[in-house]
Structure 1
């Protein structure tokens, strides 16, 4: 069962054009919601008539679905619940609303007549695509009204704004305020539109004067020094890309020795030295400045002579120190080059054309010498990569005559490795021990290294016994490229130290071998530890030493006690004898 009802905001009880009725009298009727709602605006009486007892609002809810239930006097359902669907029809009860308090559009100065400026999209909450929600737009006021009224128009049903009569000038009026009436068939609403006129770059920068005269500077004037202030103006809107001025040098400074910074507040240009001046390269600079905007000019407007200015810079000579062709010279040689081999060279020139004398500083190892005239560098002693793989010295270039000014550069000599170091043990092995007597074969691990430069894969040593006479007692086996294992072949070793020679080969080009000695000790173990009277830590006595010290201490104490006892006994005897002598001594008259 379905029915419709018009949306209303009136309060009271309204009878729906529907009723439910059980065939027999005595039925009890009730309504049951299909969905839980904040409010349920319907009721049913015991005659089966359904009523609307609260206002309906289509914009809040446009349809309801609920059930009518009939029960007997005992509350037993008489039939299945009857579903009722109510549709709320729209009435025009909502006025149009503006999209915002103020809608803002922008239009450029040179916008063509008829160009779209923007769209005012008002809204109506009534049912869409019905006469209740159809909106009409009309401009009712324009402020200011200069240079004339009706500069803008709005499409009646779309809300699209257009430029109506002429192009605008920001200098004349930078902003317009429009009042727009938006209406449906019953309501009217006033919306407000602001149209900002946007400046375009139709004015070129103009220098305050076309010629900034002459300036003379010494070539050693400090980098960063401001040498000139220039000024141009622009009639476009201030603090925009159309009026901002950038200065650049278009002629007279091909090496970029000058730079120009612009003050963003007043477009003042500060000309400064960005790189050192050079009298020998260019004594006169005929500079041409150009002032331009970061934004492009509009079509039909071009930069002209007003945007250019000139300036003459004269550079005077100053006696300067020699200049190296580069600050760091690098060379690479093998570490086994013969003494007297040329390993590199440096070059410098004096700006005034004077002769130069070269010398070295910081040659701490005394490996190099330099030809004072040519700048060629030679080895004067054997080189050693293992001592220093990158050898750094300073080269001094001093002008001959004049004021003897000098300059310094660096010379870096990279020494390439040759295989000139035999393998060796990575450390001194002094604690290789076996408990005596040896009950089963055992082994010890040791590690080798090489002072030469290793490949990316690391060293690859081979290991062997250094004496054939030991092959019945010992065996050496390789674990990896750096580690090997020394193993016993039997258990019949004496309690002593064995020095086992090991031959290690590095496999280089050419290969080098080194013989090392591994001291292996067989000694008696006490509770799993091997004690050696001759090989203990400094300051730590062995067991024998401890016992000896203890016995010596007891002996010294005994002697001291004996001496004291004897002295006490002798003293007692003397006292007795003295007493007896006193008793028999005759008296004198």
Structure 2
């Protein structure tokens, strides 16, 4: 079978001249069989029968590619080509089917004629080709009449895309003063058209704006400088417009443009220049070191590192008095004070200042020197200055025994101003709080005002002030350090209390103590002490002193056989002398106790009472004796406790049991057999006063410790109007209430006579006894009238201690 290709009809020729070529390809085994066949001749045997007979193999359709132009703008579908099988007899029994990329969407096929049309606009830049598959079926049975074959439709390019600069706009930099032909930047334009078909994608570059400064290579797009000596200081920025045109630049080609912004970078081609050749400045003479006097500026048309400046003082009489530094931010020269100024010494200075570029371009050295100079005149202005001390520091040494009012140093200050005002001196009292010194107001003589003591203050640091008479605000100061020198004014002494112990069996020449001394003085050659017995003990028969010649001494026994019962303590006076001038000495006492020791020399007892015990008493016997004593003490305390808790009524019918401890006032009681009044201090208990203070502060009251239980319980039953306090006053009121309540109880008025009441007794005699001169017998009527007497006593006590109580 042959597949026949036909030329397109007139319609296809109108459709952009598309041609469809079919070629019949056969196997070599079928070449002879079909060599006599003519194109267009169809075989009678169907495809299925031929396939089953295995007489020859039918290969797939193979034809050249279809070509169709892009961007068709017509209203009718665009004819692409025609499919035709040699089995098609034109009766419509063959049905053509199209599948693959774009089938039914971009391309359609007439299933009867096999005509292929494009129903959408084709764009080669979006898709350059489509791969499709064709199938011929029996319309009645749907059986394939031909094997499915694949073919390609290629989109043929037209010039429908202009060149584009995808990286534009461009930024470029080129140094100023660059030679002609210096490369600036390369620009590139791309054309989406097919570069393999015609000239649609062949681009040519040209410059539309930027001449005569720049040029562009038409093929490569490289931009170069075209003018010499382009000066950044004259014009820094350039805008260059570049065009790219396809079709090799021919008429009718499409074009695109881009902008290139070119900046001329700076080079050091301009020397600095001072706008002023003379500067006039002034500065106060009191200006401190490093203070700013003024600024100078050398202008440089360059920028960045090429405009950096370095300023130096190259000449002038102030080169050693002033200095100049460069401000890196503003490139100005800052003139500062290098040394102290004095209007009285020099009133003006002249400086020659140079400004230069530290970074130079060698190729521009022929333009001249890259530095410039200017002259600076500086005037020093006078100010009222504080007095100045000469010298600026004083160090004085003075012995501590210097006489009050002695001049130890002359302090001198002067006014540095031309007027030379008078100076008045004083001491800053915050530096001399002890007021040990004073200074003469006019002469500056520094003198002592109090005795000096090196042992108390060895150094004094004071500040002396100098003030101008005409301007008190101008005050100068100077530091004066005074070292107090030591003199021998302190005697040596023992550093502590020395106490030694010797045994009764001590031998002659035995060491019992080593002593040392201290001295508050500090001689240059160090301390050296001498020890000996005091004159009053020079012939002491018991002890002696040996000087060790190393500021210590040994105390030795002169005899043996000390007895504690004869003398238990010895007091040995020791004379201590120093080596100063004059020699000072003092006497220290060593206390020596005689002790009993065992055979090894260890002290057992230093108390003489220890000898009262029998020597032969054993340790067990001593323990038994102590145990018996302890048992007896416990029994005694138990009996006393039982008696204290037992209440015994007083008996009034026996004269021997009547206690008449009557209070005496001014010794006017006079009653017969009056006893000695008790000490009222026994009724005063400090703990009760504390308890009363706690009660006033809101704390819980404490129980009296100086009252018997029955008295304490009685005080609780006293009405509140009577129980004013727990002191002596309250105690008296409690006893008064007890007497009023119990008619048979004897009075218990053991009170102390007042120590001092003045002359005469206001109360008179309170005794119920008759006068000693009476002939009558002793009467005990006071037992029945003690109530008024106690009441009178309470009133007197209230008058002595405070306001009288309300009964």
**Higher RCO structure, 1 or 2 (CA under 8 Å, sep 6+):** 1
Structure-2-length-normalised TM-score: 0.37
> Higher strand fraction: Structure 1 or Structure 2?
1
Structure-1-length-normalised TM-score: 0.49
> Higher helix fraction: Structure 1 or Structure 2?
2
